[in-house]
Structure 1
Amino acid sequence: MASVGIPAEGVPGRVGAWWRAGGRGGSAAYVVAPVGVDAGAVMQRVHEDVPGSVLVDATGLTAEQVMQQALAALGVDLSADERDDWRFALGSWPEERLLLVVNAHRAGPTRRSHEAERLVTSTLPRLARGELGVVVHVVPELLPAHVYPRAVFRLSAAAVEHPPAVKESVAVRALTLAEPRFAPVPVWARLVTALTGEAASEDELAEFARERPEILRLGPLGVSFVDEGLAETLRQEVESAELSSVHEQLAGWLMRSASDFRHPEGWAEGGAVGLYAATGLAMHAVQAGTFDEVLRDGRVIANLPQTALMDAARSISFIISGNTAAADAIHLWGWGVTPRHQAEWASWLHLMALSRDDLEFASAVATSGVTLPWQVKWAHWRPPGGYHVRYLRAGRFAALAEVRWQGRPAIAGLQQRTVDGAQQPFVSIWDVETGERVAHPWEHDEIPAEHRADLTWPASPGSGSVAPSRVQELFASSSPRRNKRAFMLPCEPLAVGEVVVFAGDLGLIVIKPADGVNISDFGASQQPLSWDYADAGPCSPIDSPAPSHEDLIALFGEDALYPIEVEDLPDRLTHAATRELLLDFGLPYMMEGAMGLFPFGSWGIGILDELPSWPGGIEPVPESGPFFQIGKWMGGKLVIDGPTGHVLRVPAEPGQDRLAGLPSAHSLVDFLTMVALYVIGLRTRSILPPASSEREQITYWVLRALVEVDETGGDQPAWSYVLHND
């Protein structure tokens, strides 16, 4: 049974006995104290009784910061080259060690932070491995489900009783509604006004705090509680409607007051109120129900830390909507992009907004008052979280070279693309100023004769030649790619005039740094120790057309699309819209994702070979046929039903119910649209790092997109089978 009602003085002995029993490495135990009860002294006593143990106070820290502090205190090497091996370090100790985490429920920079839940349910269980055991101080609502009862130690202590005058004080009650655990006096005054509807004197509030040093602490950042348990207890007594009104008023006031703490390095550097706003505005907006509105204001978001956006969004939902700054924050976090300075983070927000054509948001970030250390000039890339055909058009880059095209600064890119399932190298030329691709891909070593006069070196090399004669000369002096694990765009950066060019599997970006700013480490990636934060939806260009069968042109090229000749179109394929599409648009010749489409026949099939009826022994379908084969998929035939135009997969043999003949789409145009979405997903996943969480998320993005095109066809098991197992 779980320990119930243990007096505080008895807990250290119980926890010590649990630890000394041995075999606790890789496991966790919990000291559970009621809200408002301080268990710090209990955890300190356990720490003193267990030699070699480490104690970390989680108050105000993110889960990532708790993990960093804990591992550093345990002596784990967290240098850039060694930090990813922390798991092996914990398993290599000669004896078990104990980590104690106190105030886990107070993790995070705000009182409503999701960081506490993340720390207890995700981060610390990951940390409890090898020879490391963990004891966590939590409140009852944070105790994970299905914990081994003998690893739970419940304190019987009651919360400290404060005089009624303290608990009933409007000033004290208002202060508990601050989200950060400090409140500058002007913020406190606004909280009082929001709670009571009456103006509050800042001088009187400051004097009130000085007269009550037993409960309040007045410091350079503002007022805080001596015992945070008092704030936690009193917050529970505020009515929800009253709470929402206070948060709405305070969030609005902070946004209206932003000019008072505007600063080139962000609000947090603009004084105590600015720091409060940067830390707490997002969470106030969450509780006011206005977070979505705040999230659309680039002038505000440019001043909020990456972690504040993630924390606020995750406190609302475990899945974050795509095409928002919060989703950008989570996707970049997953790639290990966690800028240390607010100004650099604002530059990333600007880049991500431009990558999805959100010009209004990008402009707002640029005019937010934060001085951007760099801005993107143009980008042809797949941004983290991107799922759209446009993000694949630039392709992969293996090396860069500076050239001149008709006298203008240009970039030569050594690239790769997939042709019939194989990687094919080619060279492209891009105008530095406009971002336009000025030369079609060159697939051979010879520079096309018609372009030899267009392409020259930026300066005459030692040989005296002013132009390369062969493609291989372009990259003869290119530097090796940087570590793919350390940089999201690993090609060696290329400085061209006032801009710097970055490239890799994700595409091509041209950045203009501010004067004196070194951006050689742009895109440096270091996976957070605490790993993923949350799932976020994909991003795509805003106002872009809905997915279409015409996306196949961008994916395979016009040369790979083959309209069916009139004489090859079977008379018994009678569905009018299908006939028109086959004649005017045709089918792509493709083999990808265990699917092949063969507009001119292949793999032993002719052009639209007829299957007179559904095969015997196979689960029957409502469609009556005749059926006409357009390809193969997962070993089965892909066919069009002549009368209805439905596209079906014919199982190769009986017993394949999970891959059965459920219509893959109710029309050919929908099916081709779904094929495009499917291929976009497969190709996007192929450029992601093997351990990237996005590789798994993309499967679900694709499946949701397929269902939006055709609700029944999107449920065809063959789609998900390949996506889950490819």
Structure 2
Amino acid sequence: MTRDDLDTLFASPAALLAAAPEGLRDLPAAGGGAGREAYAQAVTILDGAEVPRAEFASWLHFGAKVLGHDAYADLVAEAEPGMPWRTVWAWWRPVGAYRAKPNLSGDADVEVHEGPDGRLLLKLWSQWTQERWLDPATGERVPAPADGEFAERPYDALDEGPVLFDPDDDHGLHQPDAWEEPAPLGGDRVMFFEPRGVVVLERNGTAADGQISSEAVSWGSGAPWFAGPTAAEAPLDAARLEEAFDADGMVLLTPDQLPAALTHAPTRDLAVTAGLPTWFAAGVATFTLAWADGKAQGLEPDENGLLHLGTFELAYGDIGRVLVHPETGAVSMVRNGEGPFPFARDTETFVRLLETVYRFMSACWSPYPGEYGKRDFLSEVAALEPLSVDEEAPAENVWEHLFAAILELSPWGF
């Protein structure tokens, strides 16, 4: 299959569904765009499960919505009106996409709240995601209601009528193991949440209640596929840092809020254009930025000619001062009075390493079947900063301690 043929095939959901599994084997490494991304998501999530064409279209539609390819999802719905269900919206981590948000690992819940006029809102909270309120019709974030304006709907306040994935009604539709407790929202819609995100689905009653129109088959197997650059290849910007550290965990500084002694242009540009994390926590370790108050202009280099960037509390009584060279941007550490020793190539590398821990949390704690988050995490940090995995380097002992939060510990820190 040529690149042009591949692009044409995946550009048309109708052609893709008509090709069936036989026409989707041994695909070239490149080509396919948004359609191939959605297809790879569907195939990877199904993990070999056998489903008929119309039900596979539901999963193809889900993959497109998860990835933000809404126009492609509309084409899928047009190509297969017999889908038993469709995705209304999804705030979801795609398979193989290492993103900081959403991360509902550990303690988390999505509650259905109801106002006096019957209007519903979803209240989402978790230990790794700031509380947010969502419109169940669109998934858009909305302001928190006033105290007493909405009340949590009782758990047993179920809607009348069939519920999606009910084995007595939906003819054995494939249901992921993690989708255990549907929350009915009315109008044939239900909400599911699990560590990878929250999704609202709508049941197509006519299709779900009808006879299966084609044989159930496996639509293939494989790994996620993405057309664009990986996060490791993409530049840091303020939106990316805010996604990882939250708005109150990062700061954009102005040039006059930086140490006057700092002449390393890339470090200054990073702090002004993308920002710096003011707070980081993983396991029992925390980091606090020394420049967060915007009053670092008069900061002078220490006896080693280095500027204080921030401080790690690595464990009880275990303190690491993070220092930056004002001219080269190289990052060093003094740990419990010992050092300084090289810690990261430059400030951007240091920030990227912290951000990478947050981006891989969900994949390390709550991986999809066949997803190798821990392996891919170690590969990415080794490429970012070889010192972080060099057993002969003092820096490795510190980074190993930080990385253990997602490689060895649970979301609860033990």
Report the TM range for the smaller structure's normalisation. Answer: 0.5 to 0.7
**Structure 2: 5+ residue stretches without partners:** 159-165, 167-174, 210-217, 390-395, 409-414
Q: How has the CA–CA distance of structure 1 residues 546 and 494 changed in structure 2, closer, same or farther, with 3 Å as cutoff?
A: farther
- Displacement of 1:349 in angstroms is 0.6
AA at the equivalent of 1:679? Y
Q: Which has the higher contact order (CA 8 A, sep 6+)?
A: 2
Deviations 1:1-46 (A, max 9, x none): xxxxxxxxxxxxxxxxxxxxxxxxxxxxxxxxxxxxxxxxxxxxxx
Matched, 1:403 2:114: yes
AA at the equivalent of 2:376? Y
Residue 432 of structure 1 corresponds to 136
- Residue from 300, 303, 307 that aligns with 2:18: 303
- Flag the structure with higher helix content: 1
Q: How has the CA–CA distance of structure 1 residues 685 and 582 changed in structure 2, closer, same or farther, with 3 Å as cutoff?
A: same
- Displacement of 1:503 in angstroms is 2.0
Residue 511 of structure 1 corresponds to 201
On the 8 A contact 2:308/2:321 being kept in 1, the answer is: no
Q: Which has the larger radius of gyration?
A: 1
Q: Provide the C-alpha distance between the structure 2 equivalents of 1:368 and 1:291, rounded to a whole number of angstroms.
A: 18
Normalising by structure 1, what TM-score? Answer: 0.41
Q: How has the CA–CA distance of structure 1 residues 642 and 361 changed in structure 2, closer, same or farther, with 3 Å as cutoff?
A: same
Q: Provide the C-alpha distance between the structure 2 equivalents of 1:374 and 1:590, rounded to a whole number of angstroms.
A: 40
Residue 375 of structure 1 corresponds to 86
Q: Provide the C-alpha distance between the structure 1 equivalents of 2:134 and 2:69, rounded to a whole number of angstroms.
A: 24
AA at the equivalent of 2:14? R
Q: Provide the C-alpha distance between the structure 2 equivalents of 1:557 and 1:438, rounded to a whole number of angstroms.
A: 17
Q: Provide the C-alpha distance between the structure 2 equivalents of 1:474 and 1:592, rounded to a whole number of angstroms.
A: 34
**Structure 1: 5+ residue stretches without partners:** 1-284, 441-447, 456-467, 520-527, 614-624, 655-659
On the 8 A contact 2:364/2:374 being kept in 1, the answer is: yes
| Superposition pairs of residues 162-173 of structure 1, within 5 angstroms | none
Q: Provide the C-alpha distance between the structure 1 equivalents of 2:136 and 2:52, rounded to a whole number of angstroms.
A: 29
Q: How has the CA–CA distance of structure 1 residues 332 and 557 changed in structure 2, closer, same or farther, with 3 Å as cutoff?
A: same
Q: How has the CA–CA distance of structure 1 residues 534 and 515 changed in structure 2, closer, same or farther, with 3 Å as cutoff?
A: closer
Q: What RMSD in Å do the two structures reach over aligned CA positions?
A: 4.9
| Superposition pairs of residues 615-694 of structure 1, within 5 angstroms | 625-632=305-312, 637-648=321-332, 661=342, 664-666=344-346, 668-669=347-348, 671-688=350-367, 692-694=369-371
Q: How has the CA–CA distance of structure 1 residues 571 and 716 changed in structure 2, closer, same or farther, with 3 Å as cutoff?
A: same
Q: Provide the C-alpha distance between the structure 2 equivalents of 1:368 and 1:567, rounded to a whole number of angstroms.
A: 57
On the 8 A contact 1:400/1:478 being kept in 2, the answer is: no
- Residue from 15, 26, 35 that aligns with 1:312: 26
- Flag the structure with higher strand content: 2
Q: Provide the C-alpha distance between the structure 1 equivalents of 2:101 and 2:227, rounded to a whole number of angstroms.
A: 11
Normalising by structure 2, what TM-score? Answer: 0.66
Q: Provide the C-alpha distance between the structure 2 equivalents of 1:644 and 1:506, rounded to a whole number of angstroms.
A: 40
On the 8 A contact 1:325/1:349 being kept in 2, the answer is: yes
Q: How has the CA–CA distance of structure 1 residues 626 and 386 changed in structure 2, closer, same or farther, with 3 Å as cutoff?
A: closer
Matched, 1:331 2:44: yes
On the 8 A contact 1:394/1:507 being kept in 2, the answer is: no
- Displacement of 1:345 in angstroms is 0.5
Q: Provide the C-alpha distance between the structure 1 equivalents of 2:247 and 2:309, rounded to a whole number of angstroms.
A: 22
- Residue from 258, 281, 295 that aligns with 1:591: 281
On the 8 A contact 1:356/1:540 being kept in 2, the answer is: no
Residue 242 of structure 2 corresponds to 553
- Residue from 361, 376, 384 that aligns with 1:700: 376
On the 8 A contact 1:561/1:589 being kept in 2, the answer is: yes
Q: How has the CA–CA distance of structure 1 residues 290 and 680 changed in structure 2, closer, same or farther, with 3 Å as cutoff?
A: same
- Displacement of 1:355 in angstroms is 1.7
Paired positions, count: 359
- Displacement of 1:494 in angstroms is 1.5
AA at the equivalent of 1:640? V
On the 8 A contact 2:11/2:33 being kept in 1, the answer is: no
Deviations 1:300-354 (A, max 9, x none): 2233446864x424xx56xx999624532442144x7x25211110111111112
On the 8 A contact 1:343/1:373 being kept in 2, the answer is: yes
| Superposition pairs of residues 173-184 of structure 1, within 5 angstroms | none
On the 8 A contact 1:548/1:673 being kept in 2, the answer is: no
Residue 94 of structure 1 corresponds to none
Residue 494 of structure 1 corresponds to 184
Q: How has the CA–CA distance of structure 1 residues 540 and 382 changed in structure 2, closer, same or farther, with 3 Å as cutoff?
A: farther
